[in-house]
Amino acid sequence: MNRNIKLILQLSIIITVLFLSLLDVSKANPNIQNSIVKIYTTQTNPDYDNPWNTYRPESVSGTGCVISDNRILTNAHVVSNQTFIQVQSHGRPKRYNARVVAVSHETDLALITVDDLSFFQNLRALEIGELPEMQQEVIVYGFPIGGDTLSTTSGVISRIELQTYVHSGFKFLAAQIDAAVNPGNSGGPVMIGDQIVGVAMQSLSDSENIGYIVPTPVIKHFLDDLEDGHLDGFPEDGTFVQNMENPGLRSKYGLGDEQTGILVNAVFPGSPATGKIFPEDVILSIDGHKIAGDGTIANGPTGRIDLNHLIQMHQIGENQKMEILRDGEIKQVEFNLTKAVGYFNLVDRDQYDKPPTYFIYGGLVFMPLTTNYLKTWGKDWKEDVPSYLLAKLYDYPSSEGEEVVILTNVFPASVNVGYHEYSEIIITAVNGNDIQNLKDLIKEIEKGRGQPFITFTDRDGNKIVLDRNQAEKELEGILEAYKIPSDRSLPSD
């Protein structure tokens, strides 16, 4: 992760309000302050330009709070790509070594613990409350930069809706608050009375005092998911839908005056909805919740909310019920949610806690296309990345396991003369055989032993041809010359 990504993850750099002027100690609860923890993390981030390397270790800090079973709740981005963690409770001088228990990078939540149980002596485990109501006042606890002591800021809940979590790029339920969320606040508890109603997560760039918190429904889903000792994640059903607010569209698909719903345009092959939901079905309700033509459902005092929240609040392995309109007839369908958020992305969203995947052959460097790689273009990567690569970010795979394989760059050597300037090329076939992912590329190369040449074909049909014998003879010399420890990344778990 480069410095620009780190700035994005912290998200609070732009806020210049002096947090000391916003302290409201009188509203803070002294009974919970000792349960607030400062987290010190050493992060060693991978270098996606040179995927066999990492950047220099960097020190970051964040906030957490003690909850049940000697666990500390915080943000995933506070402990992502960590190589060393220490924690220090409020009012105590000693730091304790800590370790990660579980991480949900999708929802920017993490649990850490301290094996030395003396750390938890006299520390109260805070309770998780309910989803706060609009305009309720909250207190944000944390250790923002600029000092070492515990800070509190107060504000109100101003909005509850699905928002993009910057750490992952996925949309989940979030609550907007007008309390200051500064660097170092990340992971701190947001409290009403003595109960946690959220975890401070991010702030809105170019705005003052607009922060976002991970609310309790998402936190509780994360904790409930872990009860069996395994983190499965948040589900997706695999349907691709559109709103039905236009009268002509509603009439075409037979919606009555009192009926509302959304139109299914496609169902991803192999998804939970396969064989249950079909293109041109109209989804009228999910789990008994009526769906409006704009794709929202009623959500009590918070107003309306995107229907995806209903799906996400299921645990993977649970059933989802839908009422649909098909060819003028109302039907009830039910299916098991088996796929996690991110399964239907052609390009992986930000990856953490694991090294990049790569393969080198004849000095040519191949990698799967990921958001991490796209972000090597810098802060304005969406403007600077080649358009044909950026477009893949919004595509869906046509089959399970499909990914975009790119030739990222070439290490000049005799075997690859004429290709030295090649980079950012999408590879679609090896030796005339289509490939679905990097594993296929490696398999085709190895399968072609005995053939004199290896031919890579790009998305435009252009050919890169290497002499096999020469490529294999020069491999060791290329790796040694460019200080590369291996021709491929280690297999991931």
Please list the active-site residues: 77, 108, 186
Signed CA dihedral, 444, 450, 451, 455: sign only? positive
C-beta atoms surrounding 327 within 10 Å: 9
C-beta atoms surrounding 280 within 10 Å: 12
CA distance 238 to 322: 14
CA distance 163 to 175: 8
CA distance 331 to 323: 6
Tell me if 479 sits within 8 A of 487, measured CB to CB.
yes
CA 42 to chain CA mean position, Å: 21
- Sequence-distant (≥ 6) Cβ neighbours of residue 391 within 8 angstroms: none
Grouping H, G, I as helix, E, B as strand and the rest as coil, residue 4 is helix
H runs (alpha helix) in 49-186: 76-79
Q: Which of 401, 402, 406 is nearest to 386 (CA)?
A: 406
Tell me if 210 sits within 8 A of 194, measured CB to CB.
no
Query: Which residue in the block uniquely carries the two structure tokens 């990856």?
Result: 351
